[in-house]
Structure 1
Amino acid sequence: MQNRNNIFFYYHPRQEGEKTNHLKSLAEQNGLNVVNESKDASIIVSIGGDGTFLQAVRRTGFRQDCIYTGIADGDQIGLYCDFSITRFEEMIDAVTNNKIEVRRFPTIKVSVNGEKAFYCLNEVSLRSSIIKTIVIDVKIDDEHFETFRGDGMVVSTPTGSTGYSKSAHGAVIDPLLSSFQVSEVASLNNNNYRTLGSSFILNQNRRLQLEVIQDGNDYPIISLDNEAWPVQRIRHVDIEMDNTVIKTVRMSNNTFWNRIQRTFL
């Protein structure tokens, strides 16, 4: 079992320098042990923005036995980053004096062509790789729901609903709701083709399957969170939820809806 005071800092190599060394020094001065391997940590801290936080979670394996937290590399904090690099002392004080609350963000599990499953904290998107609409049969719990034609589809978690999904006119979902959202990107709707034409939300116990109709879009682009994944030939993508969550910390006066208000209003 990892020492509960072991802390690992995740950041891009180009950020190595005075700032990161200062953060490590502050952590050690406050009784935390800085480790060089994420597997040895009970606290994983990303330094950057929301994108870096997503990478930190993915690159460290969506660990269930540790807490993640994000530090913005600047004064502008984000949806996943509660603290800024210039105010790191606040995080140290919050962690050591129990001024924080633990949040549990649900994830979605994605399997391509029935192979190894991957987790997403934000979303999975499936898009055309050529200048042509992609055709996808959408199934819910193995029953055909609709045939989509358009630029692509986005399936997001509640926290991911504020990103690509929102840009595709999806709703913002409270992360206390264990559910996932399906949003269309530029769907084709006319006398010949018809889709729901709006986002829809599925309960955590539902299973979603996106079956790509091979009509020239044999090699669509699939992205998991903020990373594109090279898959030679996508036949179907299966999406569901299990009990995997990402535990993060936040200040007690900084709720998800405080962040939404700060970011969008």
Structure 2
Amino acid sequence: MVADQRRNLYFYYHPNQELDKKLEPLIRLARDNDFHVVEDAKDANIIVAVGGDGTFLQAVRKTGFRQDCLYVGIRSHNEAGLYCDFSIDDHDEMVESMQNAEVEVRRFPVIEATVNNESTYLCLNECSVRSTLIKSIDIDVHIDDLHFETFRGDGLIVATPTGSTGYNKSTKGAVVDPKLPCFQVSELASLNNNRFRTLGSSFILSGERTLKLQVTQDGNDYPVIGMDNEAYSIRNIKEVSVKLSDNVIKTVKLKNNTYWDRVKRTFL
């Protein structure tokens, strides 16, 4: 059973009166089934994100991409979610599933982005580099030691397999199976002419590759770097290096609810 040695629950959510009321029976039910609700995420070995996919991403980021715990996603509204297997309105089913071993642990790939060879950030969905000015941004794209292309446009997105259904998909990128250890690069409004020529389509890199994005210092030195659903404004960005992390995010899923089941429910 997944929860045999994982009994400490921490609920991550944005408090409001309606959600607080909906959580009361779930918390009570958890306690009745020998789960312990803790006030500090550091004391938890199950972190429960209540809201939607955005809340799940924030829960993972705010708690430090914990490798020693499970993350559980609960939808607070009746909407599809790629990270949320459970609905807050079906809390009896959720506890019963965990008690009866009707859940499995899945591992989602994570990428790490290092800025200027100094600060490293983990991303579960994607890392994006975008211009903050009303002008294009120039980026030299390197795959390992190969200079692959010089990009000019609004920016680039580097997505994990689970992140492939988010921002990446809106740029016509491919939806990727999270069982593949890889990451995907997609363009934002590339400009192609005699001087600048890009592949013009998304491309997928093996988890053994390293991607380097070198930003041309031409006044556009303060691009916005998006890490999942948070934006960072970092001064004087010269290089962003991206690779697949050794870390993974362990989540609980229902046995009859695969990633592709959720993709179908969300988009088809």
One fold, TM greater than 0.5?
yes
Query: Aligned to 2:218, what secondary structure does the other structure show?
Result: coil
1:20 aligns with 2:23: yes
Unaligned 5+ residue runs, structure 1?
none
* Percent of matched pairs sharing the same residue: 60
The separation in 1 between residues aligned to 2:80 and 2:156, in whole angstroms, is 29
2:200 counterpart (187, 197, 200): 197
Q: Name 1:121's counterpart in structure 2.
A: 124
Q: Name 1:62's counterpart in structure 2.
A: 65
The separation in 2 between residues aligned to 1:6 and 1:12, in whole angstroms, is 20
Query: Aligned to 2:189, what secondary structure does the other structure show?
Result: strand
The separation in 2 between residues aligned to 1:90 and 1:235, in whole angstroms, is 50
Q: Name 1:221's counterpart in structure 2.
A: 224
State the Cα distance separating 1:214 from its structure 2 match. 1.1
Query: Aligned to 2:78, what secondary structure does the other structure show?
Result: coil
Q: TM-score, normalised by structure 2?
A: 0.95
Q: Which digits, 9 at most, give the CA deviation of each residue in 1:105-133, with x for residues without a partner?
A: 00001111111211100000000101100
Query: Aligned to 1:243, what secondary structure does the other structure show?
Result: strand
Task: Give the AA of the match of 2:6.
Answer: R
Task: Give the AA of the match of 1:82.
Answer: D
Q: Name 1:10's counterpart in structure 2.
A: 12
Aligned residue runs from structure 1 range 1-265, under 5 A: 4-14=6-16, 17-265=20-268
State the Cα distance separating 1:192 from its structure 2 match. 2.8
State the Cα distance separating 1:176 from its structure 2 match. 0.5
Query: Aligned to 1:171, what secondary structure does the other structure show?
Result: coil
Q: Which digits, 9 at most, give the CA deviation of each residue in 1:68-119, with x for residues without a partner?
A: 0100111223000011111122111111110001100000011111112111
Query: Aligned to 1:75, what secondary structure does the other structure show?
Result: coil
Asked whether the 8 Å contact 1:42–1:66 carries over to 2, the reply is yes
The separation in 2 between residues aligned to 1:102 and 1:4, in whole angstroms, is 13
The separation in 2 between residues aligned to 1:164 and 1:255, in whole angstroms, is 21
Which shifted more, 148-157 or 86-95?
86-95
State the Cα distance separating 1:201 from its structure 2 match. 0.5
The separation in 2 between residues aligned to 1:230 and 1:21, in whole angstroms, is 39
Task: Give the AA of the match of 2:53.
Answer: D
Unaligned 5+ residue runs, structure 2?
none
Query: Aligned to 1:145, what secondary structure does the other structure show?
Result: strand
Q: Which digits, 9 at most, give the CA deviation of each residue in 1:112-167, with x for residues without a partner?
A: 11112111000000001011000000011132111000010000000000001111
Aligned residues: 264
